[in-house]
């Protein structure tokens, strides 16, 4: 027993140090955005491609109301209910005081201005592949949107998931910037990969996850359960299931109509609204990429 106690006294501090090192937030270098000049017009395209309004606007907002990003929408998950925060330009309740570096740390590293981990319900696991220039442009565009004074609500997450530091373990296991679809891609497919795997964060819904919420990359975009809906599923959008042509996919992302004259519903209707703001070439690029994804059989 004495030997066990002595062993514990030796190993416990070592374990604590390792935990502290592995779980510490890792923000960007201070010069990560050096020399980049903002283009707010292009930032608007990044805004729609990234689906910012879909989560951070008021539920049911349409038209110009989609640009009031006061948050409040609720997202159920196996780990608790997450509530979208205010990311409007309000200096007190929103991100009006954030620097461009703050936004880059949030999107590319999942780290808050206070140095804490963000929950991956904020899709930084996808945004991490975004270019710094796109983040700079997005920050400039967001600065011109309305300020909303609504306070952000706290997430409804219980122990142990409310321990933010432990998210460092999640990042250690799952967070990386590797592209999933690789190989010989055309420029169009490469652009589509960027929109799907990064800004559009399609995998956040369409790729199945393990018990800790990490993607099963062997079934990339192969469909996944809808949190809070025992019988609901996000569809398989790989060539193993989706037999649409590239033109069909591009049209769907523009109008929301399927080849069978059905229409997009639920959150996908918001995705269509977002992608309809993009250039036709971008929607065609997404379609070209989806045809390149390895098939996942139903």
Q: What pLDDT is recorded for position 19?
A: 63
Place of tokens 């991490």: 128
**225 has pLDDT over 60:** yes
Q: What pLDDT is recorded for position 298?
A: 77
Tell me, what DSSP letter sits at residue 74?
Answer: E
List the domain boundaries for the chain. Answer: 35-176, 178-298
Which is nearest to 86 in space by CA: 99, 103, 66, 72?
Answer: 72
Whole-model pTM: value is 0.92
3-class DSSP assignment, residue 233 = strand
3-class DSSP assignment, residue 230 = strand
Confirm if 85 and 118 have CB atoms less than 8 A apart: no
User: pLDDT tens-digit profile of 111-133?
Assistant: 999 999 999 999 999 999 999 99
Place of tokens 């980049």: 36
Which is nearest to 54 in space by CA: 278, 201, 272, 270?
Answer: 270
Structure tokens at 27: 């923000």
Structure tokens at 212: 């800790």
Q: What pLDDT is recorded for position 287?
A: 97
DSSP element (H, E) containing 80? strand 80-83
Which is nearest to 101 in space by CA: 129, 136, 137?
Answer: 136
pLDDT grade, residue 20 (50/70/90)?
A: low
| Pairwise CA distance, residues 246 & 122, whole Å | 29
Confirm if 179 and 136 have CB atoms less than 8 A apart: no
Mean pLDDT of 164-176: 93
**10 has pLDDT over 60:** no
Mean pLDDT of 29-58: 97
DSSP element (H, E) containing 75? strand 74-77
Mean pLDDT of 90-98: 97
**Mean pLDDT rounded to a whole number for the chain:** 92
User: pLDDT tens-digit profile of 242-277?
Assistant: 899 999 999 999 999 999 888 888 889 999 999 999
Q: What pLDDT is recorded for position 229?
A: 76
């Amino acid at each position: 027993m004495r030997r066990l106690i002595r062993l514990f006294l030796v190993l416990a501090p070592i374990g604590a140090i390792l935990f502290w090192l592995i779980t510490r937030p890792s923000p960007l270098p201070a010069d990560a955005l050096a020399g980049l000049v903002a283009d707010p017009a292009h930032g608007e395209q990044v805004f729609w491609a990234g689906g910012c309004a879909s989560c951070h606007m008021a539920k049911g907002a349409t038209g110009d109301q989609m640009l009031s990003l006061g948050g409040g929408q609720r997202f159920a998950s196996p780990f608790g209910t997450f509530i979208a925060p205010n990311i409007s330009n309000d200096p007190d309740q929103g991100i009006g005081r954030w620097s461009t570096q703050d936004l880059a740390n949030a999107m590319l590293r999942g780290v808050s201005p206070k140095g804490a981990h963000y929950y991956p319900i904020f899709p930084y696991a996808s945004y991490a592949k975004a270019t710094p220039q796109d983040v700079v442009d997005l920050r400039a565009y967001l600065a011109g949107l309305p300020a909303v004074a609504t306070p952000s609500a706290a997430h409804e997450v219980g122990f142990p998931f409310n321990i933010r530091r432990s998210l460092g373990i999640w990042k250690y296991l799952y967070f990386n910037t590797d592209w999933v679809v690789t190989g010989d891609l055309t420029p169009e497919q490469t652009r589509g990969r960027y929109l799907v795997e990064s800004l559009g964060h399609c995998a956040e819904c369409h790729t199945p996850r393990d018990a800790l919420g990490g993607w099963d990359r062997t079934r990339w975009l192969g469909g996944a359960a809808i949190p809070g809906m025992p019988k609901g599923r996000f569809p398989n959008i790989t060539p193993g299931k989706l037999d649409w042509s590239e033109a069909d996919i591009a049209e769907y992302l523009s109008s929301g109509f399927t080849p069978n004259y059905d229409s997009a519903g639920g959150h996908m209707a918001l995705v269509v609204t977002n992608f309809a703001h993009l250039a036709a070439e971008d929607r065609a690029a997404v379609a070209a990429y989806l045809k390149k994804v390895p098939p996942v059989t139903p």
